[in-house]
Amino acid sequence: MVKLIIQIPCFNEAETLPAVLADLPTTVPGVDCIETLIIDDGSTDGTSAVAQKLGVTHVLRHTGNRGLARSFQDGLNACLRLGADVIVNTDGDNQYPGRYIPDLVAPILNQTADLVIGDRQTGTVEYFSPLKKLLQAWGSWVVRVVSGARVLDAPSGFRAYGREAALRLNLLTDYTYTLETIIQAGKKGLRIASVPIKVNPQTRESRLIRSNWSYVKHQAATIVRLYAFYEPLRTFLYFSAPFFAVGIFLLGRFAYYYLTGEQGIGRHLQSLSIGGTAVVLGVLIAILGILADLSATNRRLTEEMLYHFKRLETANTARPEGHEASDL
């Protein structure tokens, strides 16, 4: 039996949640059981009560606001414990039409993808400003380069995860999950696919993006951190390269004047001093990269152990029926 759980992270979404739930499909080809999970991230507008009144299968409540990334990860873990074979993540602001869920799920059921992302075709979204469209396209390009995966709309939160992909993903940052899960998936060899979708009319401004600059700053920090996390040796070598380049140039300059017998060679001793220091700094940074790479090997072993632990923990989980609510 194939079980699909649709998880919806929510923070004060009592007004839009009814429309989101009404739009969800009741049947999906290849799926035997569909359940819903609301992650109420410390809402104060009665989101949990609305969800239970509307027949949501499971409600997970945070006692305080912990952010989108934590809500997503807690939802993922809860879905695994509830025996989900496929997990779809959508937003509580009714941005994503539920009719596309069968399209998201199909590549996972066909075993051609582990993670499927709804491509909003951001260049056609009317309420996106030209700057936002540019930033979305640029951000997706950067994520493609860093992750090695062909992703058309990296910031899209409308996604489907196979069980194996959900077991292997562990968030490290607190801001958002969208870019991090793609980079992790790419580095872990998971297959990523995209399906084109259209979005619903905007219901409110994003609570995550306070300004374009704030969003770019947070996401850039996430990308750099994750790239260094998964490619430590390459990252440190990139940092050491300018020091090596400057040092070799200055040492070469000194050697040239010394070997050609130019008078007043003492005037070029600063090239020897600065060049030698730059090379030493480059070597030290490269050594740090080697140490970080050795540490990354231990991290990969730890991640593999965590994967097997989570797999064993959720292998024989019960699949309770009816409405449930739990506080975290």
CA distance 154 to 152: 6
Contact 155, 136 (CB under 8 A): yes
Q: Sort 98 into a burial class: Cβ within 10 Å, 0-12 / 13-18 / 19+.
A: buried
CA distance 183 to 95: 24
Output the pLDDT for position 316.
Answer: 67
Torsion over CA: 155, 157, 160, 161 (sign): positive
Output the pLDDT for position 265.
Answer: 54
**Residue type, position 255, single letter:** A
Output the pLDDT for position 225.
Answer: 82
Output the pLDDT for position 324.
Answer: 61
Output the pLDDT for position 323.
Answer: 54
Output the pLDDT for position 137.
Answer: 86
Backbone angles phi, psi at 179, to 5 degrees: -75, -40
CA distance 259 to 273: 17
CA distance 228 to 143: 14
Backbone angles phi, psi at 58, to 5 degrees: -135, 140
Contact 84, 3 (CB under 8 A): yes
Pick the CATH number of 3-230 from 3.50.50.60, 2.120.10.30, 3.10.20.30, 3.90.550.10: 3.90.550.10
Residues of the chain with pLDDT under 70: 205-212, 261-267, 316-328
Q: In the chain, what's the furthest Cα-to-Cα distance?
A: 91
Output the pLDDT for position 320.
Answer: 46
